[in-house]
Amino acid sequence: MRMLPIVCLLAMTPVALGATQSTAKTTPKATPKTASTQAKSATKGGRTVELTAGDTMKFDVTSIQAKPGERLHVVLKSNGTAPKVAMAHNFVLLKEGVSPVEFNNAAMNARDTDFVPPSMTDKIVAHTALAGPGETVDVSFAAPTKPGTYTYLCSFPGHFQVGMKGELIVK
């Protein structure tokens, strides 16, 4: 019986605390709203599409589907082991009607700009930087609004020739 007052005190403390907390909760109510708005704008990168490539010089995903104008966030990871100077990968999405062979030929001589030739930037929808072994690169962009099939490739010398490419199908 002697314990009862203490129990009562203990029982009351959480109530008091709880009241304080719920008051505190009311004040920053506006903040979560702002936070969720920020989260939304952070996802403007769009739907994430993950690609992996390694020393075999192939994309693990060779076909991507998208709706016209859909925001995409392409993430390319290299799980290769060869040094970056000899083996790096990128993702280059070409505009409609651009010859991948022609683009690739120009890219070979563009080491200074990571094999994305400045003379052909108007032929590209989007491209990533180069990923060396263990590196991840990404790019966010809007898919073309015109339905069709768009080629993406790795423009590191020699990789397109051995089949490092894929298709973005917009429909």
The angle formed by the CA atoms of residues 102, 169 and 130, to the nearest 5 degrees, is 55
Angle at 147 between CA 73 and CA 58, to 5 degrees: 50
Q: Give the range of 24-32, 41-49, 109-117, 156-164 binding Cu ion by CB under 5 A.
A: 156-164
Angstrom distance (rounded) from CA 163 to CA 168: 15
Q: Does 159 bind Cu ion (CB under 5 A)?
A: yes
> What is the C-alpha to C-alpha distance for residues 146 and 54, in angstroms, rounded to an integer?
32
Stretch that binds Cu ion, among 19-27, 101-109, 123-131, 157-165 (CB under 5 A): 157-165
Q: How far is the CB of 139 from Cu ion (least distance, A)?
A: 15
Identity of the amino acid at 150? Y
Cβ of residue 43: shortest distance to Cu ion, in angstroms? Answer: 28
Judged by CB under 5 A, the residue of 66, 131, 164, 168 near Cu ion is: 164
x/- contact string, 98-137, with Cu ion (CB under 5 A)? ----------------------------------------
Site residues (vs Cu ion, CB under 5 A): 89, 154, 156, 159, 164
